[in-house]
């Protein structure tokens, strides 16, 4: 376990100059004109109302926001994680447990000013330990623009990038110096399974490169003296029935190519959602033995920080 530290924490974005943040906003806005924010590379002009895979324009589309107490303990602490759930997604997981958010139009358009206010309310009124952007990949421009406004209002909480792991390197590089905590899923090790389940055969290669870049930027997860996450990488892996997720390959990659100290949540809560009932063996829950084998694989791979 990484040593806990007891000193004032300054989020990465507060160490940026205003000029650098404005340059990042401008760059993200330019990308939207022929969108390559994610590996789908739809190249639609989102500033002109054109919509690609994520069905989102250039304004924040938010499903909900609230202090969340169901996240990993280093994020939750006593006051919760300040989650902002963005609607839509750049993946198409047929078993999505948040499918009403990711696959429908639940939620609505808001302004970047309103998004900034939400961030401030979560920090200042609710005392959340962090601002947790859920499914943020296609909303990077709006997040950066709102962040600029929120900083002026006194935002000082760490930022969490809570994503599906299907990330473009150029976008992650744009976020360097902005995000404190990266929390990607690593969903699939096999391209055929990724194509069947999420319409993304390149997912395994993309996720490997993305996790490496995230770790390069922020390193292993660091906690404060209370056990609250301040900076670093936290990886989630949802175990699927009959080993479909490729757990052994994923935990071996994390231990050998990222760090044995990678904070990893081996998740057992799979249950059939959305279209999963039409695709055996995804039409059933995990067995206790399947989950036990997944945790054993993670330990045998050498991972030392399992949630």
pLDDT one-digit tens code per residue, 87-106: 999 998 999 998 888 888 88
User: Residue 29's closest CA among 169, 159, 155, 143?
Assistant: 143
The per-residue pLDDT for 105 is 85
Would you list the domain boundaries of the chain? 13-306
Find out whether 103 and 274 touch, Cβ atoms under 8 Å: yes
Find out whether 60 and 74 touch, Cβ atoms under 8 Å: no
The per-residue pLDDT for 233 is 98
Contacts of 288 (CB under 8 A, 6+ apart): none
> To 5 degrees, how large is the angle CA 89–CA 133–CA 84?
90
> To 5 degrees, how large is the angle CA 292–CA 196–CA 293?
10
| Span 283-298, average pLDDT | 97
The per-residue pLDDT for 1 is 47
Q: What pTM was computed for the model?
A: 0.95
Instruction: Tell me how far CA of residue 263 lies from CA of 1, 234, 256, in angstroms.
Output: 9, 5, 14
Helix axes 203-218, 191-198, angle to 10 degrees: 100
179 vs 261: CA distance, rounded Å: 20
User: Residue 171's closest CA among 59, 63, 40, 262?
Assistant: 40
The per-residue pLDDT for 174 is 98
250 vs 266: CA distance, rounded Å: 11
Find out whether 214 and 184 touch, Cβ atoms under 8 Å: yes
Statement: residue 267 has pLDDT above 90:
yes
Class of domain 13-306: alpha beta
Indicate the burial class of 125 (C-beta count within 10 angstroms; 0-12, 13-18, 19 or more): exposed
User: How far from chain centre, in Å, is Cα 234?
Assistant: 9
pLDDT one-digit tens code per residue, 192-251: 999 999 999 999 999 999 999 999 999 999 999 999 999 999 999 999 999 999 999 999
Neighbours of 215 (CB within 10 A): 19
The per-residue pLDDT for 4 is 59
Mean of per-residue pLDDT scores for the chain: 96
User: Residue 282's closest CA among 38, 94, 30?
Assistant: 94
Signed CA dihedral, 231, 218, 254, 71: sign only = positive
The per-residue pLDDT for 5 is 60
Statement: residue 132 has pLDDT above 80:
yes
Statement: residue 2 has pLDDT above 70:
no
| Span 117-143, average pLDDT | 98
pLDDT one-digit tens code per residue, 29-44: 999 999 999 999 999 9
| Span 63-86, average pLDDT | 96
The per-residue pLDDT for 103 is 82
Find out whether 116 and 150 touch, Cβ atoms under 8 Å: yes
User: Residue 12's closest CA among 226, 157, 171?
Assistant: 157
Find out whether 223 and 2 touch, Cβ atoms under 8 Å: yes
């Amino acid at each position: 376990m990484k040593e806990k530290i007891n000193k004032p924490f300054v989020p990465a974005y507060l160490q940026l100059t205003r000029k650098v943040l404005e340059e990042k906003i401008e760059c993200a806005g330019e990308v939207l004109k022929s969108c390559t924010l994610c590996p789908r590379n739809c190249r639609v002009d989102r500033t002109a109302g054109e919509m690609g895979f994520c069905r989102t324009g250039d304004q924040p589309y938010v499903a909900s926001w609230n202090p969340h107490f169901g996240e990993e303990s280093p994020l939750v602490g006593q006051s919760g994680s300040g989650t902002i759930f963005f609607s839509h997604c750049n993946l198409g997981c047929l078993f999505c447990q948040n499918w009403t958010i990711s696959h429908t139009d639940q939620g609505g358009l808001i302004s970047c000013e309103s998004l900034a206010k939400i961030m401030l309310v979560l920090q200042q009124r609710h005392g959340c330990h962090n601002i947790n952007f859920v499914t943020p990949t296609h909303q990077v421009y709006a997040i950066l623009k709102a962040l600029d406004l929120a900083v002026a209002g006194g935002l000082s909480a760490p930022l969490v990038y809570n994503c599906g792991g299907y990330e473009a390197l150029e976008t992650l590089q744009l976020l360097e110096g902005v995000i404190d905590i990266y929390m990607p899923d690593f969903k699939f090790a096999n391209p055929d399974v990724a194509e069947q389940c999420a319409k993304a055969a390149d997912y395994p290669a993309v996720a490997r490169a993305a996790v490496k870049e995230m770790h390069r930027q922020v390193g292993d997860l660091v906690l404060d003296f209370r056990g609250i996450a301040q900076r670093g990488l936290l990886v989630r892996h949802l175990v699927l029935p009959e080993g479909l997720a490729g757990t052994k390959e994923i935990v071996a990659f994390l231990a050998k190519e990222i760090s044995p100290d990678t904070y990893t949540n081996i998740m057992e809560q799979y249950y059939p959602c959305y279209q999963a009932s039409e695709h055996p063996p995804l039409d059933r829950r995990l067995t206790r033995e399947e989950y036990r084998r997944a945790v054993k694989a993670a330990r045998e791979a050498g991972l030392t920080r399992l949630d």
